[in-house]
């Protein structure tokens, strides 16, 4: 009897293909009745937005939309996507069958000469790819020349090699996926730059009513990573954050305590609200929502509304 084939949707970009190859090896090499067939989908085109300094930048909203649409249309049985790019909450009819084991969830600095952030000269050109990074770094080092840059990680690193930037801020997980840890000059602590919600894990999406595929993919679920990311996504949803907003969040389980740290920034980094909450690992949603309510009580809602207008999204 042949194996049941699961059609898995991925985005046809560098990271999507890399993650798809990993999943293919995990599923096809497993002694089970399931095999993987990757189906690539083109991402939606970029549209214009603005940075804190009024520069136009290309941005995507609902980065995973082509995969979710194909899933709901029955073109695929599952979707694979970075958790940090999945909307919170998910579209109706879609659920997470698994959240994979998290890699390092922090951001890192890659520089041309190996300098760390505090060693960079005034006016150093630093490439960032999110308003969250731009806002937090602008607050930490307002003298830096922060420039928005998009593209795959190899494409961005090439710009660094060509001398167009003095440094790049990227996700540690993207570096780890490629085994390029020797290029990292500094791993940022959460005190310098809180990462994106859900950063460093992958999500396996299935239709809400597809119990068979959910069961087939459940072995990829990492319980601790799921707890942390569920807390982060609950915090993000309760905040009313929008795709690409200057919001950072990181939850970690330590023993029998779940702690989540979060921040909401103005686009220029001059205003920053930061707080934390603790709870139990068996109740991540309440812990994340508690942090959001603390920040909303400090004015996070107004800060986000203002940032949205400044970013050209309202």
- For 97-109, the pLDDT digits (tens) are 999 999 999 999 9
Token pair of 116 as six digits: 């760390």
5 and 83 co-located in one domain: yes
* Cα distance between residue 84 and residue 205, in whole Å: 14
pLDDT at 236: 97
* Cα distance between residue 303 and residue 314, in whole Å: 14
pLDDT single digits (tens) 190-200: 999 999 999 99
Percent of the chain with pLDDT over 90: 82
94 and 205 co-located in one domain: yes
45 and 96 co-located in one domain: yes
118 and 206 co-located in one domain: no
Count of all residues that appear for the chain in the document: 314
Token pair of 176 as six digits: 């780890």
- Mean per-residue pLDDT for 18-39? 89
* Cα distance between residue 310 and residue 314, in whole Å: 8
Q: Which of 218, 242, 198, 176 is nearest to 81 (CA)?
A: 198
46 pLDDT more than 60: no
309 and 249 co-located in one domain: yes
For residue 297, report the phi and psi dihedrals to the nearest 5 degrees.
-65, -20
pLDDT at 314: 66
Cβ neighbours, 10 Å, residue 87? 18
Please say whether the beta carbons of 291 and 275 come within 8 A: yes
Token pair of 245 as six digits: 């907003």
Total number of domains in the chain: 3
178 and 268 co-located in one domain: no
111 and 174 co-located in one domain: yes
> Is residue 193 a part of any domain in this protein?
no
* Cα distance between residue 308 and residue 310, in whole Å: 5
- Mean per-residue pLDDT for 276-280? 98
- CATH number for the domain including 269? 3.30.160.40
**169-203 per-residue burial string, b: 16 or more CB within 10 A, e: under 16:** bbbbbbbebeeeeeebbbebebebbbbbbbbbbbb
* Cα distance between residue 230 and residue 222, in whole Å: 12
> Is residue 175 a part of any domain in this protein?
yes
* Cα distance between residue 114 and residue 102, in whole Å: 26
- CATH number for the domain including 161? 3.40.190.10
Q: Report how far apart, in Å, the C-alpha atoms of 54 and of each of 57, 71, 90, 142, 309 are.
A: 9, 37, 31, 16, 12
Cβ neighbours, 10 Å, residue 105? 27
> Is residue 150 a part of any domain in this protein?
yes
Query: Residue 56 — pLDDT band, cuts 50, 70, 90?
Result: low
152 and 211 co-located in one domain: no
Domain range for 205 is 1-100+201-221
> Is residue 169 a part of any domain in this protein?
yes
pLDDT at 62: 46
- 56 bridge partner residues: 50
- Mean per-residue pLDDT for 39-68? 66
Q: Calculate ∠ Cα 230-236-242, nearest 5°.
A: 135
> Is residue 148 a part of any domain in this protein?
yes
Answer with the residue of higher pLDDT: 43 or 176: 176
- Mean per-residue pLDDT for 46-67? 58
pLDDT single digits (tens) 221-252: 999 999 999 999 999 999 999 888 999 999 99
169 and 212 co-located in one domain: no
5 and 86 co-located in one domain: yes
Token pair of 133 as six digits: 């990074």
> Is residue 194 a part of any domain in this protein?
no
Handedness of CA 98, 175, 146, 120 (dihedral sign): positive
126 and 81 co-located in one domain: no
Angle between helices 284-297 and 223-239 (to 10 degrees): 30
167 and 47 co-located in one domain: no
């Amino acid at each position: 009897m042949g194996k049941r084939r699961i059609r898995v949707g991925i985005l046809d970009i560098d990271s999507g293909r890399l993650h798809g190859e990993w999943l293919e090896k995990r599923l096809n090499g497993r002694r089970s009745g399931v095999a993987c067939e990757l189906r690539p989908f083109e991402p939606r085109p970029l549209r214009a937005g603005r940075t804190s300094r009024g520069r136009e930048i290309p941005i995507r909203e609902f980065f995973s939309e082509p995969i979710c649409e194909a899933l709901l249309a029955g073109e695929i049985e599952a979707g694979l996507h970075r958790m940090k790019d999945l909307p919170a909450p998910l579209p109706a009819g879609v659920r997470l069958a698994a959240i994979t084991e998290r890699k390092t969830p922090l951001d890192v600095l890659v520089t041309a000469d190996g300098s760390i952030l505090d060693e960079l000269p005034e006016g150093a050109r630093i490439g960032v790819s999110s308003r969250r990074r731009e806002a937090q770094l602008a607050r930490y080092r307002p003298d830096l020349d922060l420039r928005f840059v998009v593209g795959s990680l190899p494409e961005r690193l090439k710009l660094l090699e060509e001398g167009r930037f003095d440094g790049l801020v990227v996700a540690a997980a993207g570096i780890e996926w490629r085994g390029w840890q020797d290029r990292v000059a500094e791993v940022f602590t959460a005190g310098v730059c809180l990462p994106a919600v859900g950063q460093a894990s992958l999500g396996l999406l299935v239709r809400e009513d597809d119990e068979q595929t959910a069961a087939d993919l459940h072995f990829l679920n990492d319980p601790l990573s799921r707890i942390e990311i569920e807390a982060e996504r609950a915090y993000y949803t309760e905040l009313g954050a929008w795709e690409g907003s200057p919001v950072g969040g990181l939850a970690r389980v330590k023993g029998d305590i779940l702690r989540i740290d979060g921040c909401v920034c103005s686009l220029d980094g001059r205003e920053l609200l930061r707080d934390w909450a603790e709870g139990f690992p068996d109740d991540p949603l309440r812990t994340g929502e508690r942090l959001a309510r603390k920040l909303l009580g400090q004015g996070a809602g107004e800060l986000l509304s203002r940032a949205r207008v400044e970013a050209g999204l309202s």
